[in-house]
Amino acid sequence: MIAARLNGPADFAGWRREARRLALAGIQPEAVDWLTSEDDAGLFAMENATPVAGGSTALTVSRRFIELAENVVCHRDAGRFVLLHRLLLRLQDEPRLLENAADADIARAEAMARSVRRDLHKMTAFVRFRAVSGASEDGPFIAWFEPEHFILERAAAFFTARFGTMIWSILTPQGSLHWDGVALQYGPAASKADAPDGDAIEAYWLTYYASIFNPARLKPKAMKSEMPVKYWRNLPEAELIVPLIASAARRAEDMVMRAPTQPPARHVRQLRHRPELPADESAITSWRDAAAAAQRCTRCDLHCHATQTVFGEGPLDARVLFVGEQPGDKEDLAGRPFVGPAGQVFDRAMKEAGLDRARAYVTNAVKHFKFQLRGKRRIHEKPNVGEIKACRFWLDLELQFVKPRFVVALGASALRSLTGHASSLASARDRELALEDGTPLLATVHPSFLLRLPDEDARSREYARFVADLARVQQRIFRH
């Protein structure tokens, strides 16, 4: 037997280097003893092996094999290195071997890779940090986890990126990770006794977990598939799972028997005072008729959940008409466009560009708020093509009655509504566009885009560009 020594049980770089040397020397997989720790023993050191005369001078493998090997090396199966060595040699004569899913070696390697990826996913999902006694907001925090495979080093990048501002340690039976906010260090194996039993924040987490548990949607088999029972012993919420499951049927029955929730009072008041829709939409002869008719719009399903239709506002002799995407949460409640956070950015940028919002007409491509409920919050959801097309009827009426000299599309949805087709906002932003009737059209970003930028420098840079776009509008107004 020939010994090939690695720096650890998941040393992919070491395996790759040694496997290449073994293959070039013509050594078969069954003749190699892979050593992964100082305690392993071998007969000969691989460092003394040299390629045989007349042997191959190059090895060729695909990126797919490299990615497969990176996962398989992390598997706890003791025969993983021999399997990969054999696949490496076979690929030189069978370059399409990886496409043969029925091959025994390929099937085994793919199964091992899937198991490793699943273990990585479970680690990122089920590690629970606990504060050390006397810790500050930044830590230190300690977590205990028992991975099935040798994935500790592979998982390190996720935790340093996700919890980069914290000081933490992850302890496992295989080794430990220690992050001080700047550098990552690997340490020796640990035991569960080295980790704290709990912390003050955990009580809040348990309260939250119990409150979001929905007994009516309980599917124990699916839950145990995603969160296998073997991980429960290290999860603080595990103590709640069994009693929550046991009481689910009773709680679901209580929910069914409970009286239905009534709509908010504001919905009732607004429905009571909505004007009647003209019997014939062709009878709409003024902006006032259009605004009143829109309050009863049922052209798409968005009216079913929104508080009210948010029609445009502004002087009917406005020179410029701004079109956004749709009303947000604040606009839906107020019944006016651009009064929420994005509207505040819009107003500030307008002022810096020398434009007076009071002299502009402001509206949206879609007149109802589209959202998803997350708890008690209504989270904005982008309108689809059908909803944009359905609402074009009202936007056409606004354009007809206002007759602006310029139209500005704020965002891709507004641009699609005005042009009737999908196009790149980035390319349209620097082009001279026009509506079908020849009205000049300018495209720029929606103010909410600026609010979503996480980087302060990028936000400042894009805001300045947005103001510059609005300044172009101001210059063209005075030029005509």
Q: Which alpha helices (DSSP H) does 326-403 contain, by range? A: 329-334, 341-352, 385-402
pLDDT over 70, % of the chain: 89
**Exposed, middle or buried: residue 232 (CB in 10 Å: 0-12, 13-18, 19+)?**
middle
- pLDDT computed for residue 51 by the predictor: 40
pLDDT over 90, % of the chain: 63
Paired with 408 in beta bridges are 322, 442
**pLDDT tens column, 194-229:** 888 777 677 777 787 788 787 777 788 887 777 788
Q: Which of 217, 207, 208, 222 is nearest to 252 (CA)?
A: 217
- pLDDT computed for residue 455 by the predictor: 85
- Report, as an integer, the average pLDDT of 400-429: 93
Give the residue with greater pLDDT, 205 vs 428: 428
**pLDDT tens column, 431-471:** 889 999 999 999 999 999 999 998 888 999 999 999 999 99
Cβ atoms within 10 A of the Cβ of 64, count?
A: 10
Residues 53, 432: Cα–Cα separation, whole Å: 70
Residues 349, 353: Cα–Cα separation, whole Å: 6
Residues 240, 43: Cα–Cα separation, whole Å: 53
Give per-residue burial for 376-393: e unless 16+ CB within 10 Å, then b: eebebeebeeebbbbbbb
- Report, as an integer, the average pLDDT of 163-167: 91
Distances (CA, A) of 105 to 17, 23, 62, 90, 331: 21, 18, 17, 10, 61
Could you tell me the two tokens for 239?
A: 């103590």
User: Which is it for the CA torsion 410, 414, 418, 421, positive or negative?
Assistant: positive
Residues 407, 436: Cα–Cα separation, whole Å: 12
Q: What is the largest CA-CA distance in the chain?
A: 97
**Mean pLDDT of the residues in the chain:** 87
Q: Which of 234, 227, 248 is nearest to 196 (CA)?
A: 234
Helix (H) or strand (E) run with residue 17 in it: helix 12-24
User: Which is it for the CA torsion 455, 457, 460, 466, positive or negative?
Assistant: negative
Is the pLDDT confidence value at 80 over 90? yes
Least confident stretch, 314-328, 332-346, 424-438? 424-438
- Report, as an integer, the average pLDDT of 120-149: 88
Domain ranges of the chain: 2-121, 127-194, 200-253, 286-479
Residues 223, 211: Cα–Cα separation, whole Å: 17
- pLDDT computed for residue 261 by the predictor: 56
Q: Which of 150, 148, 149, 194 is nearest to 170 (CA)?
A: 194
Q: Is 443 left (phi over 0), alpha (psi -120 to 50) or beta?
A: beta
Q: In one letter, which amino acid is 249?
A: A
Could you tell me the two tokens for 28?
A: 């078969």
- Report, as an integer, the average pLDDT of 231-260: 76
**pLDDT tens column, 362-379:** 999 999 999 988 877 889
Whole-structure pTM value: 0.50
Could you tell me the two tokens for 256?
A: 């069914």
Domain 286-479: CATH class, spelled out? alpha beta
Distances (CA, A) of 50 to 24, 45, 299, 445: 8, 11, 77, 63
Give the residue with greater pLDDT, 55 vs 235: 235
Residues 152, 182: Cα–Cα separation, whole Å: 18
* N residues, the chain: 480
- Report, as an integer, the average pLDDT of 72-85: 96
Could you tell me the two tokens for 308?
A: 């009210």
Q: Which of 141, 231, 146, 127 is nearest to 192 (CA)?
A: 146
- pLDDT computed for residue 139 by the predictor: 78
Banded pLDDT at 475 (limits 50, 70, 90) = confident
Is the pLDDT confidence value at 386 over 80? yes
Helix (H) or strand (E) run with residue 443 in it: strand 440-444
**Number of alpha helices (DSSP H) and beta strands (DSSP E) in the chain:** 18, 14
Is the pLDDT confidence value at 360 over 50? yes
**pLDDT tens column, 262-289:** 555 655 555 555 555 544 567 899 999 9
Q: Which alpha helices (DSSP H) does 264-319 contain, by range? A: 265-273, 287-294
- Report, as an integer, the average pLDDT of 225-254: 79
Distances (CA, A) of 201 to 128, 213, 235, 288: 12, 19, 14, 56
**pLDDT tens column, 98-116:** 999 999 999 999 999 999 9
- Determine the 3-state secondary structure of 444 from DSSP: strand
- pLDDT computed for residue 270 by the predictor: 55
